[in-house]
Amino acid sequence: MTMRFFNTYSRKIEEFEPRDPAGHAVSIYTCGPTVYSRAHIGNFRAYIFEDLLQRHLELRGYKVHRVTNITDVDDKTIRGAREAKVPLTKFTEQFKKAFFEDAETLRIKRADEFPAATDQRYIDRMIEMIGELIARSLAYQADDKSVYFRINKFPNYGKLAHFDLAQLQSTGRVKHDEYDKEHIGDFALWKAWDEEDGDVKWDSPWGPGRPGWHIECSAMATALLGDQIDIHCGGVDNIFPHHEAEIAQSEGVTGKKFVRYWLHCAHLLVDGQKMAKSLGNFYTVPDILAKGYAGRELRYALLRVHYRVPLNFTWEGMKEARESLGRIDEWLQRLRQVAEKENVQRATPINREHASNIQRPTQQFEEALDDDLNISAALGFLFESIRETNRAMDQDEMDAATANAWLDWWKRINTVLDLELETEIAVPAEVTQLAEQRENARRQKNWKRSDQLRDQISALGWEVRDTKDGQKLTPLAAA
Ligand code: AMP
Ligand code: ZN
């Protein structure tokens, strides 16, 4: 078993080999949210793809160490705080909280660390790195007092995004406020303080100011994961300039290859356009919940398409997600019933000859994910299995051992999918009372009353089933 990923750096599918000589440990850095507003579901497509990557690596036995940063100081956060007339930390706090809430709703596994750019530890590291870059002539302080990276001095600049500097020069238009730079493509490492920044500033050898966005990630990634990391992810819009700059800064300081595999997900689109704050065509997680959808339904809708394929967000897609999950829920319920039948006398003996033909679960799901996280193929295999096993159950041709094997398989693949219906929903008192009355009615063989009570229970959104252990209440699948 080997995993293969499309590496943006080489533009090729490559076999995955982590740096760890024992081959177990994997370090992952994922660019996290810029907390100037609530993240939209396009951002969450990126985080869900990264979640899928981590969970599949773990299913395959790797020990993942993942870091996701929080960008809590940049132009947008400063502007937002100024407009809201509150201190920067107070302004960003609410969006950090919202990010964690939404990530939990979508069942995204927490990273091992969530470093924040404003943490003094990392500010110190950023300043140290910028000092190193200046010492190596890879950076300079311009007349405007800001410090810039000198891209002409870093021959590999442009390798990730696959373009050469000449192109950048010929197409670039020098903006009025960038006249201090040597090259149009030179990017800020340290931004000198100006009035608009208010009290957002840190001391540095170059005067008061604040870090540029790119150096934040280089500093936090290398501080927590070392000079070299296995996998670095983000959305395709991060490739340039952000990740290109991260390579230049990190390799400029360490002299070592920063990242082995660069993985980028395609965008979530709305009507063919990128979902983006600036275009105003976005939805947040609470917007989707307000329409009556559950977190796992949105998780499924964002997960089901291969990460390198653009995905169009539609309400029709949400409906399909609900239907697909309904099929999984129903299938699991049936399998559990068959598995429970073990000790119950069967009406007709199972057709053993036929039963042995019912396929047992195979490795196909996991192998599809090994192939550059081909989730569409993996889900295709899951639904094909559901069809086949349902057919077998329709004909009463599945024995308990086979049903249990499928349930075990589901348990395993659900560590990656995390799509199972949460069943620990408290039964409302009103429903319990009706169920008790129904039990009495049945004891008195008053079937008419029993049926009426069943209807009343179902009108409250619950299904009552009669089992050998008495009545069982389950919430009706959301309409
Ligand atoms: P930001 O908060 O803008 O820094 O973005 C956080 C993450 O979301 C980055 O990895 C972006 O590449 C990603 N992202 C932004 N918009 C979209 C989108 N429409 N679809 C998928 N990923 C996105
Ligand atoms: Zn980043």
Number of Cβ within a 10 Å radius of residue 244:
24
Say if residue 178's pLDDT is above 60. Answer: no
Q: Are 270 and 282 in contact (CB under 8 A)?
A: yes
Nearest to 71 by CA among 198, 228, 192, 238: 238
Q: What is the mean pLDDT of residues 53-75?
A: 97
Say if residue 376's pLDDT is above 70. Answer: yes
Nearest to 369 by CA among 303, 456, 313: 303
Q: Is the CB of 38 inside a 6 Å radius of any atom of ligand 1?
A: no
Q: Are 350 and 396 in contact (CB under 8 A)?
A: yes
Q: Are 220 and 67 in contact (CB under 8 A)?
A: yes
Distance 192 CA to ligand 2 centre (A): 21
- The pLDDT confidence band at residue 424, using thresholds 50, 70 and 90, is low
Say if residue 479's pLDDT is above 60. Answer: no
Q: Is the CB of 36 inside a 6 Å radius of any atom of ligand 1?
A: no
Quote the pLDDT of residue 349.
57
Minimum mean pLDDT range among 54-58, 83-87, 320-324, 435-439: 435-439
Report the residue among 34, 69, 108, 237 best suited for mutation to probe ligand 1: largest number of ligand atoms under 8 A from its CB: 237
Q: Are 269 and 275 in contact (CB under 8 A)?
A: yes
User: Could you tell me which residue, 175 or 401, shows the higher pLDDT?
Assistant: 401
Q: Is the CB of 92 inside a 6 Å radius of any atom of ligand 1?
A: no
Quote the pLDDT of residue 425.
65
User: Could you tell me which residue, 471 or 117, shows the higher pLDDT?
Assistant: 117
Measured between alpha carbons, how far is residue 388 from residues 26, 288, 340, 419 in Å?
37, 33, 20, 21
* Ligand that comes closest to the CA of residue 236: 1
Model confidence over 302-314: pLDDT tens digits? 999 999 999 999 9
Say if residue 432's pLDDT is above 90. Answer: no
- H-run or E-run covering 6: strand 4-7
Q: Is the CB of 267 inside a 6 Å radius of any atom of ligand 1?
A: yes
- H-run or E-run covering 55: helix 41-59
Rounded distance between C-alpha atoms, residue 181 and residue 168, angstroms: 14
Number of Cβ within a 10 Å radius of residue 383:
13
Q: Whose CA is nearest to atom 15 of ligand 1?
A: 43
Quote the pLDDT of residue 176.
46
Rounded distance between C-alpha atoms, residue 115 and residue 35, angstroms: 13
Q: Is the CB of 211 inside a 6 Å radius of any atom of ligand 1?
A: no
Q: What is the mean pLDDT of residues 360-377?
A: 95
Name residues whose C-beta falls within 8 Å of residue 157's C-beta, 6 or more positions apart in sequence.
151, 165, 185, 244, 248
Q: What is the mean pLDDT of residues 250-270?
A: 98
* Ligand that comes closest to the CA of residue 232: 2
Rounded distance between C-alpha atoms, residue 38 and residue 105, angstroms: 14
Distance 272 CA to ligand 1 centre (A): 16
Q: Is the CB of 31 inside a 6 Å radius of any atom of ligand 1?
A: yes
Number of Cβ within a 10 Å radius of residue 299:
22
Q: Is the CB of 450 inside a 6 Å radius of any atom of ligand 1?
A: no
Q: What phi and psi values does residue 399 have, to the nearest 5 degrees?
A: -95, 170
Q: Whose CA is nearest to atom 20 of ligand 1?
A: 267
Say whether the peptide bond before residue 241 is cis (omega within 30 degrees of 0).
Answer: yes
Q: Is the CB of 302 inside a 6 Å radius of any atom of ligand 1?
A: no
Model confidence over 120-167: pLDDT tens digits? 999 999 999 999 999 999 999 999 999 999 999 999 999 999 987 776
Rounded distance between C-alpha atoms, residue 302 and residue 41, angstroms: 8
- The pLDDT confidence band at residue 445, using thresholds 50, 70 and 90, is very high
Q: What is the mean pLDDT of residues 268-297?
A: 94
Minimum mean pLDDT range among 49-58, 123-132, 187-196, 453-462: 453-462
Rounded distance between C-alpha atoms, residue 374 and residue 233, angstroms: 17
Per cent of the chain over pLDDT 90 is 83
- The pLDDT confidence band at residue 172, using thresholds 50, 70 and 90, is very low
Assigned token pair, 458: 């179902």
Q: What phi and psi values does residue 71 have, to the nearest 5 degrees?
A: -85, 100
Say if residue 197's pLDDT is above 60. Answer: yes
Per cent of the chain over pLDDT 70 is 92
Q: What angle do CA 71, 73, 77 make, to 5 degrees?
A: 100
Atom number in ligand 1 closest to CA 274: 19
Model confidence over 229-238: pLDDT tens digits? 999 999 999 9
Report the residue among 8, 31, 38, 43 best suited for mutation to probe ligand 1: largest number of ligand atoms under 8 A from its CB: 43
Say if residue 174's pLDDT is above 50. Answer: no
* Ligand that comes closest to the CA of residue 246: 2
Q: Is the CB of 274 inside a 6 Å radius of any atom of ligand 1?
A: yes
- The pLDDT confidence band at residue 477, using thresholds 50, 70 and 90, is low
Q: Is the CB of 232 inside a 6 Å radius of any atom of ligand 1?
A: no
Angle, to 10 degrees, between the axis of helix 88-105 and the axis of helix 41-59? 60
Atom number in ligand 1 closest to CA 35: 2
What is the chain's mean pLDDT, rounded?
92
Measured between alpha carbons, how far is residue 136 from residues 133, 191, 249 in Å?
5, 20, 11
Q: Are 4 and 15 in contact (CB under 8 A)?
A: yes
Model confidence over 96-108: pLDDT tens digits? 999 999 999 999 9
With tokens 């399998």, the residue in question is 335
Q: What phi and psi values does residue 260 have, to the nearest 5 degrees?
A: -85, -40
Atom number in ligand 1 closest to CA 237: 12
Q: Are 306 and 376 in contact (CB under 8 A)?
A: yes
Q: Are 460 and 428 in contact (CB under 8 A)?
A: yes
Rounded distance between C-alpha atoms, residue 263 and residue 53, angstroms: 10
195, burial (CB in 10 Å: exposed 0-12, middle 13-18, buried 19+): exposed
Minimum mean pLDDT range among 41-45, 92-96, 359-363, 449-453: 359-363
Quote the pLDDT of residue 470.
77
Q: Whose CA is nearest to atom 23 of ligand 1?
A: 43
Dihedral sign for Cα atoms in the order 377, 382, 387, 391: positive
Atom number in ligand 1 closest to CA 43: 8
Rounded distance between C-alpha atoms, residue 385 and residue 406, angstroms: 9
334, burial (CB in 10 Å: exposed 0-12, middle 13-18, buried 19+): middle
3-state secondary structure of 425: coil
Q: Is the CB of 34 inside a 6 Å radius of any atom of ligand 1?
A: yes
